[in-house]
Amino acid sequence: MIRFSHVSKIFEQKKQKVSALLDINLDVPAGQIYGVIGASGAGKSTLIRCANLLERPTEGHIFIDGEELTQLPENKLSLARRQIGMIFQHFNLLSSRTVFDNVALPLELACLPKTEIKKTVLELLELVGLTDKKKVYPVHLSGGQKQRVAIARALANGPKVLLCDEATSALDPGTTRSILKLLKDINRRLGLTILLITHEMDVVKYICDQVGVISHGQLIEKDSVSEMFSHPKTLLAQQFIHSTLHIDIPEDYAHRLSQNPTDLAVSPLLKLQFTGQSADAPLISQAIRRFNIDIGILSAQMDYAGGVKFGTMLAELEGEKQDITAAMQFLKDHHVKTEVLGYV
C-alpha cells in the first residue's frame, strides 16, 4: 500500500547539506500498522512527510496503492492526497471552528453536498467517541479529545492510508493508550493501512505489526514486531527495546554494591536480558538445579510484544565461585545477555 523506493532527501541550508534520508526502501502491506522508530534528528518527520509529498524527496520514488506520487502533476497530487489522511503531534485543529466543523472541513473542500457532509461527520464523531462534543470549540477539549477530532478529520475522505506523526507524544500515558487503542480499532475495522513515526518503543509494542529503526537518515533494521523484539540485530534496536523495561537497582542496595569481588562481597549481581527463545525456557530453575547455586531475584519485568515474551531481571547469584561461573556460562549459552553490575 505504501512503498518507498531508494528515497533520499537532502536539505540545503546556507550552503550546508544535510542528508535527512539516505536510500530508504520501505514496503507497508495493505491493512498493516508500520512503525518507524528513531531518536531525535534521525529523519522520522522527513520520512513521514515524504509519504504524502509534504516534503519532496531529492531522489527516489514513492507509491501509494500502486500509484507513483513522485510522478504526479500538482492537480492530480491533490486528488491523490485525499487517499492519505494525516495526524500530528499538536493536532493542528482550527480554533475558530467547532468539532463538527473541523471534521467537516475536508468534505467541504471536496465540495460534497451538505446532507452528505452531516451524515459522514456524525458517523465519524461516533467512531471516535465524540458525538456529545460536536458543538464544542477545540479550546475546551483535552489533548486526547483534540487528537480524536484530528483522527475523525483525517478519516473524512475515506483514505486508504493514515500517516501518524508522533501522534501521542503530547499526551499522558493513559490518554496515549486510549488513542493507540482507537487507531488499532480503526485499522482493524476499516482495514486502514497506518504508517507512524515515534521515538517510543512502547507505541510500537502496543499497536504495530512491523517496525523499522531509523538512524542518521538510514533504515538500519526492519522486521515484524515479534522478530525485532525476540532477535534485535542492531545495538540501537536493542536499546529501544530495553527502554520499554523499567528496572533499577534500589538506592540502599546500590550503596552496598562493590565494583570488584572482595572477601565480603562475593556474590555477583547480574543484569539478565531475555529475548525470544531464552524467555520461554525455564533457565533460572535449570541453572539452580544444575549448578547447585541460589538465585535471589532483586527485580524483574517480563513483557509481550507481537506474541513474543522478553524481559530483564536483576538477580544475585550465591554459591561456590566455579559453580557461579558455570551457571553464568550456561545462561549465556542459552541466549541470555548477562552483565555483572557488581558484587554483594
Ligand X SMILES: Nc1ncnc2c1ncn2[C@@H]1O[C@H](COP(=O)(O)OP(=O)(O)OP(=O)(O)O)[C@@H](O)[C@H]1O
Q: Which residues bind ligand X (CB under 6 A)?
A: 11, 13, 18, 20, 38, 40-46, 199
Between the CA atoms of 150, 34, 192 and 95, what dihedral angle is there, to the nearest 10 degrees? 10
Block residue for cell numbers 479529545: 145
CB 78 within 8 A of CB 121: no
**For residues 339 and 247, what is the distance between their CA atoms, to the nearest angstrom?**
14
Q: How far is the CB of 46 from ligand X (least distance, A)?
A: 3
**For residues 173 and 168, what is the distance between their CA atoms, to the nearest angstrom?**
9
* Residue with smaller CB distance to ligand X, 9 or 148: 9
Q: Which helix (H) or strand (E) holds 77?
A: helix 74-81
**For residues 110 and 113, what is the distance between their CA atoms, to the nearest angstrom?**
9
Q: How far is the CB of 217 from ligand X (least distance, A)?
A: 7
- Grid coordinates given for 39: 531518536
Kind of pairing, strands 210-215 and 33-38? parallel
Q: How far is the CB of 11 from ligand X (least distance, A)?
A: 3
* Residue with smaller CB distance to ligand X, 40 or 96: 40
Q: How far is the CB of 200 from ligand X (least distance, A)?
A: 11
Q: What contacts 79, CB < 8 A, 6 or more positions away?
A: none
Q: How far is the CB of 123 from ligand X (least distance, A)?
A: 33
Q: Please, what's the b/e burial string for 166-200 (b: 16 or more CB within 10 A of its CB; e: otherwise)? A: bbbebbeeebbbebbebbeebbeeeebbbbbbbeb
* Residue with smaller CB distance to ligand X, 43 or 342: 43
